[in-house]
Structure 1
Amino acid sequence: MLSRRRFLRLGGGCLALGVAGCSEEQPPSTTDIATHTPPPDSIPDSVQLRQLASGFAAPVGFEPIPGRTDEAAIVDQDGRVWLHEESGLRETPLLDVRDRMVDLNQGYDERGLLGLAFHPDFPANGQLYVRYSAPSRPGTPSNYSHTFVLSEFTMDPAGTTVPLDSERTLLEIPQPQSNHNAGAVAFGPDGYCYVAVGDGGGAGDRGRGHVSDWYDANQGGNGQDVESNLLGSILRINVDDRDDELPYAIPPGNPLVGQAGLDEHYAWGLRNPWRMSFDGEDLYAADVGQNQYEEVNLVEAGGNYGWNVREATHCYDAQNCPRETPDGTRLRDPIVEYDHGGDPPNGAAVIGGYRYRGALFPDLDGTFVFADWILNGQLYAAEEREDGLWNTSVVDLQRDGGDVPQNALALGRMHNGELVICTTNRSGPSGDSGAVYRIVA
């Protein structure tokens, strides 16, 4: 039964990640926040962008292919995945799910093909996992926007095309509104699949499809509800096994196993966890804020990150700012936060990043390198602190032979640990300004 709800009891921006359409025939070508600190001497003042591939609609992911040196999949939000080889992009897509997706708005849309992850044992089993926005399926109310789909595909591990008839649907989650779709998919060192899910859309985590139809200071939204739906959370599932009638198994260590709540939940209290990444056993999730603050969280099993009563470390539209749930569970603070104005870091929507483990920038080793959708010619590098928010420094971006792109959609990590950045000059699904750049010295 999913009728019970768990949410906080209190005492009294939209993410501009639009898509841009490529032509059918032509493939792409090759305020005072504690984190505002002066750059320490160890952080480089600037880095260079070197174009790796261009002509995309809205590249939202760069995923190295396990077992295939120097090959990666570039995920385009318009519904296609492109294979990048040492010689450049192949002319035909690795995967094309456009005919399985909702029709995307050309002016602005947060739906589409939003995430991809290769199975850790891909060289042997050829399995990859894809997250896309489908038209409403059975079980999705007629007045909802669309259905969240997570599917498994199987291909020849040495091949260049994914057979569409190999699709096996794992998750279908009704989405009330068209925004806050998150979309990240990643495998952890434990071999389990982690899936980021937004709060259902709209604003403030309320309205149609949310546990509260209007703002009520005595209720949280989907982010605080772990019993009625899977929204506003990071899920963890075992794709290599099945439980009862489920197409996957529940890891026995998931925090709600044997307790009230849906067993897939790994962490909750999130608004729109757009991208996430692992560094060893540590999981980092970039959660897009509402109107004022952006945040990056170090995600722990059973962690509650406060949405929709908190936005980063700040009170969100409530009569007070609780530090814990009624049962005494502490709300987790982010490791990084920044606002939408003032000194950098600033912006409108955090797009995530990675702890740097490459060789080109020894002084960045171990820092969390990330960006905002409004790129402003800058990356940010956050240095870990034992307590409190991490110190964040600004790293300027330069590009030989052209201007730095206007918007960033995601960071990616190559086989050798160096970083790439996925960019666009548009906010909607039109044009071909999307490009992927290597970050070099």
Structure 2
Amino acid sequence: MIKVKVRLRPIVSKLNLPTVLKTTILPGDSNESLFIATQVGEIFYIRNGAIRTFLNISPRIMKLGVSSGGYDERGLLGLAFHPEFYYNGLFYLHFSSAGTQGPGALPGTFESFKPNPCDPGTLNLKWINRETQYDHIDTVEEWMLQSKGQPQKRRTLLNVRRPFLNHNGVNSLNFSPETGNLVLTTGDGGSGYDPFNLSQDDMEIAGKIIEIDVNKHVFIYDPPVVTRFNELPAPIQETLTVIAKGVRNIPGISYQRLYNQYIKYAGNVGQDLVESIFSFVHYKPIPVPQLIQASLMNAEPDQEGFINFGWRGWEGAFPTSIIRGCSANPALDEKTIAYYNEAVKTSVRRLEPLTSYFHKDPRPDKFGGTALTGVQPYMGNEIPDLTGSVVFTDLARNEGSPPPVKGVLAYTGIKADHKPNDFGVIETDYDFGAQSAYYVSLGTNLDQTKLFLGVYGSMKVADRNQGTVFEIVP
């Protein structure tokens, strides 16, 4: 892959952690404005170089970073504008609701659960007492920009109880240009290694890519709090189809137009080994009522053409592994297959990644990564070496180098034979000085000719006002 060099041009700084970056055209306007949603609940937009507040829902967001030493994966995670936003003013939010803090599904195991292949009890855990043993509730809402320019909530689309504080998705709401539906990407519910195997269970909302038909049954205002599709009232079930399962955690889905079809890209954040980017064109979504019908009859729904990313049996192209240090040689690691039976069961059903990158990579032109934070196609001409390719971001280089920490930009592309592809690192010229620079989000404008990068000076959302948004330029 050729070496690509870019510049980072700062647009706005001293923000809270920017989770979503996207543009839209405001009603009555002629130019796109850049919208920035922060994890703590603010939504800003930049128009003619000036930053303005669009909406602040921070009182409705749960208190972040309290139970986890400042780090958190909850908050305002999704913002999407209706394709007809210019005319109807509709937009959608996904956030972790204030006042819903619970003790967690396995108290004390945030991120620390590990299966033990020698102990079957750890391989078949069940999430029980869900109404009391959960971490928080995530809410998806529909809002409307009133004619006077004031946003107002219209209705709640979903209330989902989540087992742990992590893996709730990020940039989790996007509209499909193919179907016109709202697409919700949900992580597997969190902890580590998906302890309850929610991502492969067809009835679980966790670990899926879901389409919501927002034009159907628009008069349901108060859905119940659920964890499974079959707990939803029938009219809500009828608005939902499932595109994919086997998701661990996902920084949204993006669409690249190619002639008369769309390539879909979705990244899956890895466990300890590898980060993966998937692409697909053809797929067969399954309507939720059909999934429920199959479940009631103890039958397998027809999964031909249904997308499965393979988690928790597979971490990208590898069987999910537990990594232990080798006692005889600390420089080496021993890798044990975590869930052998599941790796076998999902081996032929899963989608192979388009590209993968590793947490440890000895190759000189690559990098060791930490967590995938964004995947976006670039269709512009200003950076010709990237035209038509897919750009992605990693939170922080994992190379044991001394601080400050810095994130990574990289790119890949679709090969004519659709086989897995390599990736290349994109070099940036920006000097962050002694400040850490975690790459937390990636966004584009409407026609994907511009790229925006969200950077934060800390891993902790509780460390305020350390965010900068850049445009990636030649």
Q: Report what 2:411 is aligned to.
A: 381
What's the offset of the Cα at 1:243? 8.2
Q: Report what 1:271 is aligned to.
A: 248
Cα gap change, 1:118 to 1:154, in 2 (>3 Å): same
Identity among equivalent positions (%) equals 28
The answer to whether the 8 Å contact 1:346/1:372 transfers is: no
Q: Report what 2:155 is aligned to.
A: 168
Q: Report what 1:115 is aligned to.
A: 78
Aligned positions of 1:345-360 closer than 5 A = 345-360=367-382
Q: Report what 1:366 is aligned to.
A: 388
What's the offset of the Cα at 1:72? 1.9
Cα gap change, 1:197 to 1:392, in 2 (>3 Å): same
Pairing 1:236–2:211 present: yes
1:357-391, CA deviations, whole angstroms, 9 ceiling, x for partnerless residues? Answer: 01211221111111101154631110222243212
Aligned positions of 1:5-16 closer than 5 A = none
What's the offset of the Cα at 1:124? 0.8
Q: Report what 1:5 is aligned to.
A: none
Pairing 1:98–2:58 present: yes
Structure 1 unaligned residues grouped into runs of 5+: 1-38, 211-220, 249-256
- Give the one of 435, 446, 450 matched to 1:418: 450
The amino acid that maps onto 1:298 is: S
Structure 2 unaligned residues grouped into runs of 5+: 103-128, 224-233, 285-305, 321-337, 398-405
Look up the SS of the partner of 2:151 in the other structure.
coil
Separation in structure 1 between the aligned mates of residue 421 and residue 427 of structure 2, nearest angstrom: 19
- Give the one of 53, 60, 82 matched to 2:19: 60
Aligned positions of 1:149-298 closer than 5 A = 149-156=139-146, 159=149, 161-163=150-152, 166-183=153-170, 184-189=172-177, 190-206=179-195, 210=196, 221-227=197-203, 229-242=204-217, 264-280=241-257, 281-298=262-279
Separation in structure 2 between the aligned mates of residue 434 and residue 388 of structure 1, nearest angstrom: 37
Look up the SS of the partner of 2:209 in the other structure.
strand
The answer to whether the 8 Å contact 1:423/1:434 transfers is: yes
1:219-262, CA deviations, whole angstroms, 9 ceiling, x for partnerless residues? Answer: xx1111012x21100001100121896889xxxxxxxx9xx999
The amino acid that maps onto 1:118 is: F
Separation in structure 1 between the aligned mates of residue 436 and residue 253 of structure 2, nearest angstrom: 22
Separation in structure 1 between the aligned mates of residue 434 and residue 6 of structure 2, nearest angstrom: 14
TM-score where L is the length of structure 2 = 0.72
The answer to whether the 8 Å contact 1:345/1:380 transfers is: no
Separation in structure 2 between the aligned mates of residue 329 and residue 244 of structure 1, nearest angstrom: 42
Separation in structure 2 between the aligned mates of residue 94 and residue 263 of structure 1, nearest angstrom: 29
Structure having the larger proportion of residues in helix: 2
Aligned residues between the structures: 369
TM-score where L is the length of structure 1 = 0.77
The answer to whether the 8 Å contact 1:136/1:142 transfers is: no
Separation in structure 2 between the aligned mates of residue 401 and residue 424 of structure 1, nearest angstrom: 11
The amino acid that maps onto 1:306 is: G
Separation in structure 1 between the aligned mates of residue 342 and residue 436 of structure 2, nearest angstrom: 38
Cα gap change, 1:294 to 1:435, in 2 (>3 Å): same
The answer to whether the 8 Å contact 1:405/1:423 transfers is: no
Q: Which has the higher contact order (CA 8 A, sep 6+)?
A: 1
Pairing 1:394–2:418 present: no
What's the offset of the Cα at 1:307? 0.6
Report the RMSD for the aligned CA atoms in angstroms.
Answer: 2.8
Cα gap change, 1:77 to 1:61, in 2 (>3 Å): same
1:400-440, CA deviations, whole angstroms, 9 ceiling, x for partnerless residues? Answer: 68578521111111246210101101011212110100111
Q: Report what 2:333 is aligned to.
A: none
Look up the SS of the partner of 2:385 in the other structure.
helix
The amino acid that maps onto 1:357 is: M
